Amino acid sequence: MGKADLGRSFRQGHGPAVYPLHINRKLKIKVLAGGARLEDYASPLFIAWQLTNVCDCRCLHCLEESGPKAAFPGELNRREIFKILKEIAMARVPYVAFGGGEPLSHPLFFDICEYLSGCGINLKIETNGHCLSAAAARRLAKLSVKAVQVSLDGPCPATHQALRPGADFNKALSAFDHLARYGVRSEAVFVPTRLNIDEIKGAIELAARHKAAAFITGPMMRLGRAACAWNELAPTKKQLAVFKKTIAEQKALYEGGMEIIDYPWNIIQELKFRFRHPQALLLIVPNGLAKLINAMPFACGDLRQDSLISVWEKAKTAWKHPQVARFVKRAVTDHALLAAVNKPVLLHTAVQTVGRLPLPPDPGTSPGAGFYRQFLFRPARQ
Ligand code: SF4
């Protein structure tokens, strides 16, 4: 295929380039045979971009560990952001999604969306809904926004706000209403935890009443704060069994109306599968490093300095890096590794000497970037 934008077509094969959940059906993307390997693509098909790690919430299950004072040191400035935007446009990347921290709280959020939309790039936004006023929804309606995902973790303020300290349940509901009023597709996102899983039915009903086009759920991702609080937050087996049954019933009930999507994989399944079949995506974190996937700390390039295309070429090699293989193998049993994936470290793909795998951190502690540097190759002595 070679070019990401060639006929806006994705090729199908073992290891889809992008999970269908990430593709809005309205895009009418043509699926062809083949194209399963990253090497088939001259540029990414999808960019997930965390504009900032700042958020007015501090959700117990936040996989990014975002919060009011959680800005990355050295988040990208306007000039650096627009350098990357121009490269995304030049590379004809078809799809960009903005996620947490809270993207709408970023001072350049609309400038960024308007630039990409003007270049014909499809957008998706993940938000807690707090900044989604009527004026914001009206502005988004003029852009190529394919969906806005709003977090809805319960059918009432008590449940939603218990899980999401700092959240405002009523503002989240208003966000759905404003989006509906201006004809922007909204999707409710529900993360099942021990605290809210029993209220899934009420949350689905509420999302439908507020005209969400889809209700999306799936296993809580065992990353960041969710990983640290796993023992308190993970649903019990009994809760999960009831949850699955309720989802099946609600899918049947809403057939032809609000779409109900239950993402099938937990983060370990995702990591193992993506290791064998990487997606054609890059994850840009607030300081401009480009990660391979959110479930690993490894970044393949720095978009402040490197071009998008050169980082994309590094990504293809990085997935084959022995340290990536070691990390995936180890994370399957050592879940403490997943608690600290939010401190990205550059994976230097050109260096050839393999270091020893370090001992795991104490469970529940955040080992930080220093720990992960030990995973990296050390330069061979000249
Ligand atoms: S609203 Fe989203 S980004 Fe903000 S703390 Fe909660 S989960 Fe994290």
Ligand 1: atom nearest CA of 55 is 4
CA separation for the pair 5, 160 (Å, rounded): 39
Ligand 1 atom nearest to CA at 99: 3
Give the pLDDT of the chain (382 residues) as one tens digit per residue: 334 444 344 444 333 444 443 343 444 444 444 467 888 889 999 999 999 999 999 999 999 999 999 999 999 999 999 999 999 999 999 999 999 799 999 999 999 999 999 999 999 999 999 999 999 999 999 999 999 999 999 999 999 999 999 999 999 999 999 999 999 999 999 999 999 999 999 999 999 999 999 999 999 999 999 999 999 999 999 999 999 999 999 999 999 999 999 999 999 999 999 998 899 999 999 999 999 999 999 999 999 999 999 999 999 999 999 999 999 999 988 888 888 799 888 987 443 333 333 333 333 333 344 433 333 333 333 2
List of domains in the chain: 1-40 (no CATH), 43-264 (3.20.20.70), 271-373 (no CATH)
Indicate the burial class of 157 (C-beta count within 10 angstroms; 0-12, 13-18, 19 or more): middle
Q: Which residues of 303-333 are buried (b: 16+ CB within 10 A; e: fewer)?
A: beebebeebbbbbbebbebebbeebbeebee
Residue 100 alpha carbon to ligand 1 centre in Å: 6
Q: How far is the CA of 189 from the centre of ligand 1 (A)?
A: 12
Ligand 1 mean position, distance from CA 75 (Å): 17
Cα-to-centroid distance, 64 and ligand 1 (Å): 7
Judge contact between 289 and 72, C-beta under 8 A: no
